[in-house]
Amino acid sequence: MSGSDEKVRYCLLDTLRGITLFSMILYHGMFDLVELYGVRVSWFWRTPGYVWQQSICWTFILLSGFCWRLGRAHLKRGMLIFAGGLVITAVTFFFFSSERILFGILTFTGTAMLALIPLSGVLKRLPAWGGLAGSFCLFFLTRNVNRGYLGFESVILGKVPSVFYRGLATAALGFPGPGFFSGDYFSFLPWIFLYLCGYFLYGILMESEKAGRILRCKGGLLEWIGRHSLLIYMLHQPVLMAILTVCFDGLTF
């Protein structure tokens, strides 16, 4: 990108982030209703609910990988987001231990941002289409690694040796040991490969002037939400809990 391009704000990315954040807030609100207040929503634990949840995390991770190429303060931003993940881990561990979050989405995103700093010199030399195809293939291959298998969802390609699944250190990489639990779990594998898909997708789309014009489209309130996504993410669950406590206090289902 040229010097003038660096000053351009691609507002559509903020808008997409805002839409995804809004969807996530709705999802977490539904989760709280079902899990904490016993509201019966039969489809939530089935395929529709799973697809909804996956659409949120996939979009967040792809956007983060895409935007890595637009940022400059990767070390500062990565450490800030990683610290946000640690705060959520600490709060859930001490106050909501049954739903504690270890290696959640913020921890992963911060880690991925930092990991690409030393790797970017090599990655930027790879052809974008080849990098995208390779990254998606690796994501497809490792999607089930948390469950002890290679493959994607119902496609099982082989079993990963159990020796890899030891404890917290291996859980951070993608190999959770026996008894590991996290209410929100995004390990380095397989998600780094989806993050790289976003990274290489940038190299493809930004070759098009039309794509650049579309990405500059403004999105109003959703764009504003997307620009403040980290703060809103950190605050949304306490706000949801406060609202639901007020609404359901004294009611039983």
Residue 189: pLDDT over 60:
yes
Measure the CA–CA gap between 160 and 142, rounded to whole angstroms: 10
Measure the CA–CA gap between 28 and 167, rounded to whole angstroms: 28
For residue 166, what are the contacts with CB-CB under 8 A and spacing of at least 6?
175, 177
Q: How confident is the model at residue 207 (pLDDT cuts 50, 70, 90)?
A: confident
At 131 the pLDDT is 97
Give the closest residue to 160 by CA, choosing from 143, 183, 172: 143
Residue 34: pLDDT over 50:
yes
Size of the chain in residues: 253
Q: What is the pLDDT of residues 170-187, one digit of tens each?
A: 999 999 999 899 989 999
> Stretch 12-33: mean pLDDT, rounded?
94
Residue 249's CB is within 10 A of a number of other CB atoms, namely 7
Helix (H, G, I), strand (E, B) or coil at 81: helix
Name the residue ranges covered by the structural domains of the chain.
Answer: 5-248
Calculate the average pLDDT of the chain.
90
Measure the CA–CA gap between 138 and 142, rounded to whole angstroms: 6
Q: What is the pLDDT of residues 55-103, one digit of tens each?
A: 999 999 999 999 999 888 899 999 999 999 999 999 988 887 777 899 9
Phi-psi region of 174 (alpha: psi -120 to 50; beta: other; left: phi over 0): left
Side-chain-side CA neighbours of 121 within 13 Å: the count stands at: 1
Using the Cα atoms of residue 146, residue 150, residue 156 and residue 159 in order, give the sign of their dihedral.
Answer: negative
At 7 the pLDDT is 62
For residue 79, what are the contacts with CB-CB under 8 A and spacing of at least 6?
110, 114
